[in-house]
Amino acid sequence: MEPRKQNNSEIPEMNLENKYSDKKIPVQETVVQKEMEKTKKELEKIKGTVVKKFPFIQAIGILPPQSLKDFIEEEIGENVPKEQFEKLAKKIHLFIVVPEEKFKDIAKIKKEIVDEVEKAKQNVWVHVKTPVDVWEICLDGKFEMISAIATSFPLHDRGFLGALRVAEIHKSLVLHKFDKYVVSYVIAGSLVRGEAVKTSDVDVFIVINDTDVKRMPRVELKERLRAMIYQYIEEASAIAGVKNKLSPQIYLLTEFWESVKDAQPVIFTFIRDGIPLYDRGTFMPWKALLKMGKLKPSPEAIDMFMSMGEKTVKRAKLALLDILIHDIYWGVITPSQALLMLYGLPPPTPKQTVAEMEKIFLEKEKMIEKKYILILEKIVSLYKDYEHEKLKEISGTEIDKLLKDTEDYLKRLNELRVQIEKNSQEKTIEQIYKDVFSLLEIILGKKSQEKLLQEFEKNLVKTGKVQEQSLRILNDIIHARTEFKKGKSTVHKIEEARKGSTLLINELIDYSQRKDLIALDKTKMRIKYRDGEKEKFAELIAANGIAFLMRENSISKITNKIENSSIEELSKVMEEQKTKKNVEIPSKAFEILRKELGEFEISL
């Protein structure tokens, strides 16, 4: 496309000489700053108007002054008169990027932008290009120009300038560190297609010359350079001030050429679509050869790529089996085991799971329908066929059906979980209630709930025999049970009642034991007697109309005579005594004792 003659307005060159005699005041610097601020505001206004009028504009940047020579020569020609060149070089050069589909409208777009510049009376020159024009600059080897575009001051950017800037900065860092190894630095992807946004990844290919490496293996060279190249990614993004993330691919020159020879599709695509930001006569010849049809795959490469079709089918079949084995099978087995454990059973093995699910939830509890057991059986059966090498492939249709069945099965398991938890809560609250009130009946006698509650408060709490919090816990247990029956209780309330019941039961047991000890003390008598010259002691225990003599390590029962007894018999008789208020000692007991022990003394 022929460059259109520029009609940009011009304003007289600013006189920046110091007009003031007092040289202590930096007047020149102040004037320049004010002029620059004014110019910046005017350019912002122009940008706002232009972007509003042409919303498809991808980027607007101010080119750096030191790089204008190449851009002026590209627009006007190389033989620009010195006077005209100096005049143009003093202008602000705006570089504007529009989509490729607007290529035919560039002349019209440029004219309207120039008109806006003239209205603003700014000393501005306008360059309007498409991404393809920008990449042509790279393909012509004018890397300094592309560097100037990348580092231009962005007035407006949808992502094109930012992505190009981070790649340019990364390239500069890499070349500064090890220029002699890098033969090509190439960009590709959305940036080259003109689709880059502010968050796009920037695809970069770096080709490293390994043909003269002697002191280290080529793989080691690649890894060392790769590590250093990757280190510069964050630094480049920080300097560029963008969110675009660089995605570099590192190739050795020898392996790259091998891939070209073998016609690797990825490499061919890279050569076809890639744009060099730097090249030492390596990438561009490949690109030219490919364009001319001179890069052709070897017969071996053709065979390799043809065989990839069959390999792909095999991999697809294996992938379907993998879905069955690792996803579907374990996807139903593991949650089924979890529900059996929630029910209260020990964790079953995978082989036991189907039988246990059927036995517990279908036959015993009748909580699940037969069709869900059949789904589980089907999946487990297929898995067993795979284990025994009877199943070697499975169709996508079958996988779809299994996935649908698995989804239904898991949905039903979630419902079953709710049922099991509800049943578990019911068992928990009923067991708590039963345990607590059974203890109360032992202590206070068998009475109604209301009567037990009244006597508990009156006889135990208010008399200080149990703690005051015990009454609150007892009321909470009754309330939780009532609320559960109404369907209003929660897992949290049940759990609180369970924790409270543990404290209450422990306190009631403690009270009961203290009561038993007191009762036992009432039945005991201490006996002092003499055995020859020695003074000895024994205990006489009366319970349920029977007297027991405890001497040293022996227990005897007193009937019409002294008989051997045991701790079990004594405990049994003591339990029977608990239900009776009075303690009776057989009338002949003391007479028999006197015959057995001789004279003795008794103390209660």
Q: Give the per-residue SS3 of 339-369.
A: HHHHHCCCCCCHHHHHHHHHHHHHHHCCCCC
The confidence band for 33, taking pLDDT boundaries of 50, 70 and 90, is low
What is the C-alpha separation between 335 and 44, in angstroms, rounded? 62
Instruction: Please state, as a whole number, how many other Cβ atoms lie within 10 Å of the Cβ of residue 160.
Output: 25
- Which runs of E-coded beta strand occur in 521-560? 524-531, 534-543, 546-551, 554-558
Q: Is the pLDDT at 57 greater than 90, yes or no?
A: yes
Local structure of 549: helix, strand or coil: strand
Local structure of 436: helix, strand or coil: helix
Report in angstroms the alpha-carbon separations of 293 from 54, 218, 268, 273.
40, 31, 11, 15
Phi, psi of 151 (to 5 degrees): -100, 10
pLDDT per position as a tens digit, 196-222? 888 889 999 999 888 877 677 877 878
CATH architecture of 158-297: 2-Layer Sandwich (3.30)
What is the C-alpha separation between 526 and 447, in angstroms, rounded? 38
Instruction: Please state, as a whole number, how many other Cβ atoms lie within 10 Å of the Cβ of residue 311.
Output: 10
CB 232 within 8 A of CB 204: no
pLDDT per position as a tens digit, 244-259? 889 999 988 988 888 8
What is the C-alpha separation between 303 and 294, in angstroms, rounded? 20
Higher confidence at residue 261 or residue 9? Answer: 261
What is the C-alpha separation between 530 and 517, in angstroms, rounded? 29
Strand partners, 603: 526
Distance of CA 435 to the CA centre of its chain: 45
User: What's the Rg (C-alpha) of the chain?
Assistant: 48
List the alpha helices (DSSP H) in 364-490. 370-387, 396-444, 449-455, 469-485
Q: Is the pLDDT at 24 greater than 50, yes or no?
A: no
Do β-strands 92-97 and 124-129 pair in parallel, antiparallel, or remain unpaired?
A: parallel
What is the C-alpha separation between 140 and 287, in angstroms, rounded? 12
Instruction: Please state, as a whole number, how many other Cβ atoms lie within 10 Å of the Cβ of residue 185.
Output: 24
Greatest extent of the chain over all pairs of C-alpha atoms, in Å:
150
The confidence band for 120, taking pLDDT boundaries of 50, 70 and 90, is confident
Report in angstroms the alpha-carbon separations of 82 from 88, 91, 505.
10, 15, 106
Of 183-187, 229-233, 530-534, 590-594, the range with the highest mean pLDDT is 183-187
Q: What angle do CA 469, 473, 478 make, to 5 degrees?
A: 150
Higher confidence at residue 284 or residue 570? Answer: 284
Do β-strands 246-252 and 202-208 pair in parallel, antiparallel, or remain unpaired?
A: parallel
Strand partners, 531: 534
Higher confidence at residue 484 or residue 414? Answer: 414
- For the entire predicted model, the pTM comes to 0.49
What residues does CATH 3.30.460.10 cover in the chain? 158-297
Q: Is 312 exposed, middle or buried (0-12, 13-18, 19+ CB in 10 A)?
A: exposed
Average pLDDT, the chain: 82
pLDDT per position as a tens digit, 526-564? 888 888 888 888 888 887 778 888 887 788 888 888 888
Q: Is the pLDDT at 169 greater than 90, yes or no?
A: yes
Tokens of 337: 């085991």
The confidence band for 7, taking pLDDT boundaries of 50, 70 and 90, is very low
Q: Residue for token digits 């750096």?
A: 64
What is the C-alpha separation between 123 and 103, in angstroms, rounded? 26
Instruction: Please state, as a whole number, how many other Cβ atoms lie within 10 Å of the Cβ of residue 492.
Output: 8
List the alpha helices (DSSP H) in 274-395. 283-291, 299-322, 330-343, 350-357, 370-387
Q: What angle do CA 334, 337, 338 make, to 5 degrees?
A: 85
Distance of CA 26 to the CA centre of its chain: 58
Report in angstroms the alpha-carbon separations of 254 from 189, 211, 260, 306.
24, 7, 10, 25
